[in-house]
Amino acid sequence: MDSGPLPTPRLLDQVHAAIRVRHLSPATDAIYTKWIRSFILFHGKRHPRDMGVLEVEAFLSHLATRGKVAPSTQNQAKAALLFLYKVVLELELPWLNNVVQAKATPRLPVVLSNTEVARLLDQLAGTMGLFARLLYGTGMRLREGLRLRVKDIDFERREVIVREGKGGKDRVTMLPEALVGPLQDHLVKVRALHNQDLKEGFGEVWLPDALGAKYKGLGKKWHWQWVFPSRLRSTDPDSGVIRRHFIYPESVQRAIREAAMRADITKPVSPHVLRHSFATHLLASGYDIRTIQELLGHKDVETTMIYTHVLNRGGHGVASPLDRIGFGPIRN
């Protein structure tokens, strides 16, 4: 019997589905959902189909004036609304492209000196210490390192394959010689943990692009496991499967922030600072900008050029005239 038309999925469920179909990252899913929900709540839970340019401009203006968010954050919210209207609701609204885009003020990245990096890493032990050294030694982003699988480390070629980095692209970076032994020792422990999971009826890792449905049992294979798995198993909110995820990004961020405090580093330190330091230190060592661009996975070399401004400190490397006159000590 015909039971009638299927109920229309909730708007946010449609957003989740559209993001998954396009293989966008879970982080993008969380960010877009957050801004779309905020937009709807800001306008009294009105449906986006019933709103237009005035409501979008009012929301974005509110973020800038009342919320005092950074221009990059405001543009992030605009990107989420563009996705909602064009992809989810399939509405071609030329006015949305004309909504004013906030201009971000160019800022130099925070970079640690070689000594500061050594002091920071000296304060990190165990898994966090290994992971922080891997970020600095490879130039990977935080989530790229967390999503690393066993098969992505080539010990013979001394390479690390970064899968689906920013922009969904793969790339290859170096595996530091100093981390070969520690990583191999770490994987021995991870494999023992995986074997224990298998004995207890678990051990299946999340796979991309429905590979788990296409190849039965693939998610339990050793080479697909996370290099940095969580200590605890958890339930996948989408499938309900109990599995071991990778360690939480917040745990790494907190560990590095606290290590910087113990190392008495006054600069604001985050995992991404290790990536900035990687690039700047390679430039200082004489490596060309194109090579560093490929290692970082930047689409445009202009993005990589920001590190030349950090390297040419003190007014593009110009010596101050005060340093040339050789004055004596300052009198009290």
Which distant-in-sequence residues (6+ apart) come within 8 Å of 33 by Cβ? 12, 15, 16
Q: What whole-number percentage of the chain has pLDDT above 70?
A: 85
Q: Please state, in angstroms and rounded to a whole number, the distance separating the CA atoms of residues 287 and 279.
A: 10
Q: Is the pLDDT of residue 73 over 50?
A: yes
pLDDT tens digits, one per residue of 92-116 = 766 666 666 666 666 788 999 999 9
Which distant-in-sequence residues (6+ apart) come within 8 Å of 320 by Cβ? 314
**DSSP character for 108?**
P
Two tokens, residue 223: 């080479």
**What is the arithmetic mean of pLDDT over 238-263?**
92
Q: Where are the domains of the chain?
A: 11-97, 106-314
The confidence score (pLDDT) of residue 285 equals 87
pLDDT tens digits, one per residue of 310-319 = 766 544 555 5
From the list 57, 60, 58, 52, the residue with the least C-alpha distance to 77 is: 60
Count of C-beta atoms within a 10 Å radius of residue 114: 10
Long-range contacts of residues 185-191, Cβ cutoff 8 Å, at least 24 apart: 186/127, 186/130, 186/227, 187/150, 187/227, 190/150, 190/225, 190/226, 190/227, 190/229, 191/222, 191/225
Catalytic site positions: 141, 166, 272, 275, 298, 307
Domain 106-314 classification at class level: mainly alpha
The confidence score (pLDDT) of residue 3 equals 46
Q: Is the pLDDT of residue 87 over 50?
A: yes
Confidence band of 329 (pLDDT split at 50, 70, 90): low
Whole-prediction pTM value?
Answer: 0.78
pLDDT tens digits, one per residue of 176-225 = 999 999 999 999 999 999 999 999 999 999 887 667 667 788 889 999 99
The confidence score (pLDDT) of residue 75 equals 85
Instruction: Report yes or no: 282 and 290 within 8 Å, Cβ to Cβ.
Output: no
Q: Please state, in angstroms and rounded to a whole number, the distance separating the CA atoms of residues 81 and 33.
A: 10
Topology given in CATH for the domain delimited by 11-97: DNA polymerase; domain 1 (1.10.150)
**What is the arithmetic mean of pLDDT over 149-169?**
89
Q: Please state, in angstroms and rounded to a whole number, the distance separating the CA atoms of residues 271 and 125.
A: 15
pLDDT tens digits, one per residue of 274-306 = 999 999 999 888 888 898 889 998 888 888 888
**Parallel, antiparallel or unpaired: strands 159-162 and 153-154:** antiparallel
Q: Is the pLDDT of residue 4 over 50?
A: no
**What is the arithmetic mean of pLDDT over 157-164?**
91
